């Protein structure tokens, strides 16, 4: 639209920069798990895991969701990063006694080794993840 207007007014066309490749800029996403897939994708994983328990109606969960994407990108290949919608999958949060949202569980070989309830800074989350990765089994 602006290019046509510029031509009508006598201006020269401006070069259009190339669009970046979507694959080049796409960050790996956290894996969405359900009650049915939790055991296979998280507990039996060969890597330690961070699991985000969230709900669509939860405002603080939206903040943590962006941190989860950062974790998935920053720790790709070293950590399983997963999310569980508690409204759609009530069994898993009940099993882990998730009482508040958002809740991040840190798991090593399917065993809970840490928990963050509520909003924490990305630096605090990273600190706990680094502690998890330093454990002997990781």
| Catalytic site positions | 58, 61
Which of 56, 44, 66 lies closest to 125 in space, CA to CA?
66
State the DSSP code for 85: E
Convert 120-133 to b/e letters by CB count within 10 Å (16 or more is b).
Answer: beeeebbebbeebe
């Amino acid at each position: 639209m602006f290019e046509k207007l510029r031509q009508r007014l006598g201006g020269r066309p401006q070069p259009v920069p190339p669009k970046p490749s979507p694959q080049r800029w796409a960050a790996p996403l956290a894996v969405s798990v359900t009650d049915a897939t939790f055991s296979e994708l998280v507990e039996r994983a060969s890597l330690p895991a961070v699991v985000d328990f969230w709900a669509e109606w939860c405002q603080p969960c939206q903040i943590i969701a962006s941190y989860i994407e950062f974790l998935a990108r920053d720790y790709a290949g070293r950590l399983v990063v997963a999310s569980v919608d508690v409204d759609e999958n009530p069994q898993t949060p009940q099993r882990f006694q998730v009482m508040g949202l958002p809740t991040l569980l840190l798991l090593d070989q399917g065993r809970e080794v840490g928990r963050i309830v509520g909003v924490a800074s990305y630096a605090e989350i990273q600190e706990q993840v680094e502690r998890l990765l330093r454990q002997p089994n990781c």
